[in-house]
Amino acid sequence: MSYFFLTEYTDFTESILVYFASILSIIRLKPAMSNEIPRPDTEVLKDLVRTKMPFGKHKDVLICDLPVSYLEWFSMNGFPAGKLGMLLSTAYVIKSNGLSHLLEELKRGR
């Protein structure tokens, strides 16, 4: 019984760590002694409005324009490895939290 609990807890912990790692990957953290507030890596946000989906049902659609349902599917089944997966997971976090409007100005200035 305790082994099952430990496995379940480990899976939950790993999923939380993966989630926070994807969030932290878009932030350049300063040293702990710095009084500056961490700023988002704007290149990641710019890539969201420049990069097109390279495969699948929504091939050639900008990542920022992908429907939330498609991003949710990746969330449940696993994001691809590498930069594409990071961009898709970032788009998922932005859209699922109702923050799509933040990308609109970037999208216009492409």
At 42-97, the pLDDT tens digits run 788 889 999 999 999 999 999 999 999 999 999 999 999 999 999 999 999 999 99
Q: 17 lies in which domain range?
A: 2-31+39-108
CA distance 93 to 102: 12
Q: Is the pLDDT score of 12 beyond 80?
A: no
How many structural domains are present in the chain?
Answer: 1
Query: Residue 32 — very low, low, confident or very high, per pLDDT cuts 50/70/90?
Result: low
97: how many CB neighbours lie within 10 A of its CB?
Answer: 9
* 25 within 8 A of 79, measured Cβ to Cβ: no
What whole-number percentage of the chain has pLDDT above 90?
Answer: 45
The per-residue pLDDT for 45 is 86
CA distance 63 to 4: 38
